[in-house]
Amino acid sequence: MKTKTQFAACAAALLLLQGCSAQSNVEVSVKSGPLSHMMTFEVRAIADEAIVKSVTINRGNCALGPITENGLKKTIKLKFGESFSGFGICTLPSLKEMKVGTDSGAFVFSFN
């Protein structure tokens, strides 16, 4: 009986946590960059306001361009529809994942 009660409590907690997950306040688009070994990305606010804190490409295995990295050291405050553009030093076909850290949490975008 104790096991059933513990299982029910865990299941209820899991459902509550799932319901509390934050909705992304940004969207990401990508395209080939100006050079063959680069890709361009754009982070766009889809909420009234979004503060971009970090961008990580392929779990850190694809470096950000130096200008992009310097830009992320400042506060990037976007209003709805505004965007921040940057470069990654990797090819578009090698892009698998981009993680964007914002004031609402970190959101992972996957690419095939």
Residues 6+ apart with CB under 8 A from 54: 72, 99, 100, 101, 106
For residues 47-51, give the mean pLDDT.
97
The CATH number of the domain holding residue 36 is 2.60.40
Tell me the whole-structure pTM to 2 decimals.
Answer: 0.77
Query: Does any domain span residue 43?
Result: yes
Domain count, the chain: 1
Q: Does residue 1 belong to any structural domain of this protein?
A: no
Contact by Cβ (8 Å): 47, 14: no
| 18 found inside a domain | no
User: In terms of residue numbers, what domain contains 44?
Assistant: 23-110
Strands (E), the chain: 26-32, 39-45, 49-57, 63-64, 76-79, 83-89, 97-102, 105-110
* 11 domain-assigned: no
- The answer to whether residue 7 is domain-embedded is no
pLDDT value for 75: 87
Q: What is the pLDDT of residue 13?
A: 39
Residue 90 lies in a domain: yes
Asked if the structure places residue 44 within a domain, the reply is yes
Q: How far is CA 55 from CA 14, 60, 74, 87, in A?
A: 28, 9, 13, 10
- pLDDT tens profile 3-37: 544 444 444 433 333 334 579 999 999 999 888 89
Dist CA 55 CA 52 (whole Å)? 8
14 domain residue, yes or no: no
Summarize pLDDT for 53-72 with one digit per residue, the tens.
999 999 999 999 999 999 99
pLDDT digits (tens, 9 = 90+) for 72-89: 999 899 999 999 999 999
User: How would residue 1 be classed by pLDDT, with cut points 50, 70 and 90?
Assistant: low
